[in-house]
Chain A
Amino acid sequence: MKSATAAGTPPVPARSRSRKSVTGTRTVVAALFLLPALVLLGALVVYPIGYSIVRSFCNASGDRFAGLDNYRALFTDSGIRTALKNNVIWVVFAPTVATALGLIFAVLTERVRWGTAFKLVVFMPMAISMLAAGIIFRLVYDQDPDKGVANAVWVGVHDTFAPSSAFPRAHPGRNSPLVPDRGGFITSATVRVGQPVSLPLVGVAPDRMPKDAKRAVRAEPEPGKVTGTTWQDFTRGRGVGRLGEVDPSELGYAGMRIEAVKDGRVVASTKAAADGTFTLPAQADGARLRLPADNFREPYGGVDWLGPSLVTPAIIGSYVWMWAGFAMVLIAAGLAGVPRELLEAARVDGANEWQVFRRVTVPLLAPVLAVVVVTLMINVLKIFDLVYIIAPGSSQDDANVLALELYRKGFSEGRPDIASAIAVFLLLLVVPVMLFNMRRLRREVR
């Protein structure tokens, strides 16, 4: 290898001679040095391969030859097919996303002074167990936006653009002038200028009332205007408040939107003040007043990250969190070997940073990128812990992967035959990499 070449010895034949035993030891001694390793490897790695292959052709109890039945089950059993489909998603997306992020981070951190600190932060998750990472992400993905940080952020962003309403569950009480209309409520009678309108509702929990809501006030008639009050027509305590009347302790629906509707068209609209009063221009005369649906929308609950449709992408996200650092460190090492002169030459020739990255850096890094992607693919093929921990019982079937299915079939469903077929299938998938490694090494070793 390298040392031999560096020493100036002639190539191939002499190389292997140069590492001839220094002591001229007999083969027996060599065998003694190798024995522990060969026994362990033989019993724990080689023997299971053979056993699994044989087992995969037998029936569940292992006493009868079953032909290809177990392999057929791989493609017919619906649970295994979901697992297969998910494994394909995993193998396609997880390594590519992790590698792409690793590449971006590796290139960008070269340009800041605290790049090493950044790398440490991104690389750190590699040191922890998938179990711990799984628990970490169960917390992150908690459905309740008050507990899971993913939904807290998501809902925060969502509400900035589409604010949720202040009055979910508000509805008309008994003998109300309001009737349901398109998710909101509308007065059954038309309104007149100079006659104050009452728009009472009930059902908003006290702690959900807008913070700026003040005591409701009965609107005064105004010439040429339609005025009115919308308020929570409910006073704590039996028989205290009068229905449809503004009582002393009742609060106005601050910020409630009100539309005047004539012939199905909105002719005017306004918002209630803190005391629940509102004023509409004269066009509203003869219209019906509507409290539109967006006043009553339920608050946005965020995304169901661990529900059936998103559970696999969510878990892949946690995997990328763990392994992007791995890609980044390997790529950064490759980057350190890229001759700076080449990049500078491209810049001098007028290439911008993106062109340098796209046309020089990435092609030069291609071999490293390939190693990273292949390594991650092999790793992802065997993914188990993250899925087992993060997917809640209700969506574990939807998040299923081969390694998990193997574990279930082999150790809880009593089907070691099918589990063995899955194992052999996984092994077959890594055989090309195995051969590639061996070929690459044979060139080096001899």
Chain B
Amino acid sequence: MTAMVRKAGGPVRKTPAPGAVRAGQSLGARLVEAVGGGVLRVFLIVVGLFWLVPTIGLLLSSLRAPREMSASGWWTVFGRPSQLTFDSYRRLLENSEITHSLLNTVLITVPATVLVVVVGSLAGYAFAWLEFPGRDWWFLAVVGLLVVPVQVALIPIAELFGKVGLFGSVLGVILFHAGFGLPFAVFLLRNFFAEIPRELLEAARLDGAGELRLFARVVMPLGGPAIASLAVFQFLWVWNDMLIALVFTRSGTQPITVALQTQVRQFGNNIDVLAPGAFISMVIPLAVFFAFQRQFVSGVMAGAVK
């Protein structure tokens, strides 16, 4: 598993073009290959378009007036670019419910990510380098929790939060995300920390570092790549969540996903809110994705069990 994480960061191995090795082949074979290569390229371009078009459709829809949208398809923009307008965005950003929910998304996502990283690192370090009875069994138990569906906890935690007054609060949502983010965090970080060379830790120890210092000055910096993967993964996970927030927030604390979801029932009428809203909610995850592709990919790989 850890080996996989490391591999993900490495450069993609280049393959020699098929046929490059076989110089002495017949003209016919080479012709077949050239045609095949052309077909392959066309196929991949078509598939690529297939993957891009839905998102482009959303983007262009968000840039048209609702009046235009009920009359014709977004692709008419290419014929009449004059219909493009930022009006929907302008109105959306004046909509205090939406802007407030965007703020809530940040208020939920950032602490939930930090909490998981910190708590997960502490536990990962303990599982990797500290000694206590039944250490590996405890770790196994945590690994067992990796695949527990969040649905199992919705009703019990709703009742629990109701009793302790956390229901509807941002803190409750953060805690829930932390709880369900932790098994993966502990799993990933423990495996990564365990590969830190022992000599490094011993050297620090000889310099008189205590356990906490060792953790903060040696383990955390060396664990950087894994922590980055975890942070990116967790950030996207929480930012993109709808179900948990749907259950545990109320109108003042709901994130953007929940705020938009209330509009979906009258899809046609609310498209001028939904399209730009969805696009705004995608901007940050996409930025994070493009900036930290490598970390995201290795996080996804390590999380292949979640």
Contact = CB atoms under 8 A, between A and B. Distances in A.
A binds B: yes
Interface of A: 1-3, 16, 18-25, 27, 29-31, 33-34, 36-38, 40-41, 43-49, 51-52, 55, 105, 108-112, 116, 118, 120-132, 134-140, 146-149, 152, 321, 326, 329-330, 332-333, 336-337, 340, 344, 347, 353, 371-372, 375, 378, 381-382, 384-385, 388-389, 392-393, 403, 406-407, 410-411, 416, 419-420, 422-424, 426-427, 430, 433-435, 437-438, 441-442, 444-446
B255 to A, nearest CB: 10
Interface of B: 1-4, 7-8, 12-13, 15, 17-18, 21-22, 37, 40-41, 43-44, 47-48, 51-55, 57-58, 61, 69-75, 118-120, 122-123, 125-133, 135-136, 138-140, 142-160, 175-176, 178-180, 182-183, 186, 191, 194-198, 201-202, 205, 210-211, 214-215, 236, 239-243, 246-247, 257, 260-261, 264-265, 267, 271, 274-275, 278-279, 281-282, 285-286, 288-289, 293, 296-297, 300-301, 304-306
Nearest to B142: A41
Contacts of A407: 151, 154, 243, 246-247
B156 A129 contact: no
A129 B242 contact: yes
State the majority secondary structure of interface residues on B. Answer: helix
A25 B130 contact: yes
Contact of B57 (A129, A140, A381, A442): A140
B182 A41 contact: yes
Contact of B72 (A36, A146, A420): A146
A51 B240 CA distance: 27
Given A44-B176, A131-B281, 5 more contacts: A122-B51, A389-B261, A392-B267, A403-B149, A407-B243
A147 B75 CA distance: 9
A237 B278 CA distance: 49
Given A45-B153, A388-B261, A406-B154, A37 B122 contact: yes
A110 B179 CA distance: 39
B264 A329 contact: no
Given A22-B129, A44-B157, A147-B69, A321 B54 contact: yes
B194 A1 contact: yes
A23 B210 contact: yes
A71 to B, nearest CB: 15
Nearest to A444: B1
13 contacts: A33-B122, A33-B130, A34-B127, A41-B183, A52-B153, A111-B15, A122-B51, A135-B278, A321-B54, A329-B297, A336-B12, A407-B243, A416-B159
